A = this chain, B = another copy of it.
Amino acid sequence: MAQKLLAAQPFSVLVGARVVAFGGGGATLEVDIRPDLQQQNGFLHGGLLSYAADNALTFAGGTALGPEVLTGGFTISYLRPARGMVLRAEAKVAYSSRRQATCTCELTTLDNAGTSTLCAIAQGTIIAR
């Protein structure tokens, strides 16, 4: 169902995101790192990282609140330039009431040996509609 929702988001289709985990108070998205997702120095564009944080936080909130949610907002801190094969955004619910969920997200890159490197962290609030 989460994968279906993602497939209904044209922008998620454009960047090639997929859901790799959903449920149990968390959601994980992945994006294959392509040249057209980069900035001028060959790293992933920060805006793509922020897209992934936004969407993973929202899906994590959806595990607690159901599918009808809005993203209230979020904060992202960039830690390292992001490069590799795959970007993974792994979000968890820190706390949820009936009306909203506060979630955290770790963004890591995976190289072709499968080694993961933390490149950003985020924190956000998801609101039930």
Which A residues have a C-beta under 8 Å from some C-beta of B? 5, 8-15, 35-40, 44-48, 50-55, 58, 70-80, 94-95, 100, 102, 104, 118, 120-123, 125, 127
Closest to A37 in B: B11
Whole-angstrom CA separation of A121 from B96 in the bound complex: 13
Of A58, A71, A74, A78, the most chain B CB neighbours within 10 A belong to A78
Q: Which of B45, B73, B94, B127 contacts A11 (CB 8 A)?
A: B45
30 A-B pairs in the complex with CB atoms less than 8 angstroms apart: A8-B40, A9-B38, A10-B35, A10-B39, A10-B45, A12-B45, A12-B47, A15-B47, A47-B51, A47-B52, A47-B54, A50-B51, A50-B74, A70-B78, A72-B77, A72-B78, A72-B125, A73-B77, A73-B102, A73-B125, A74-B76, A75-B123, A77-B94, A77-B125, A79-B102, A94-B121, A95-B121, A104-B104, A104-B123, A123-B123
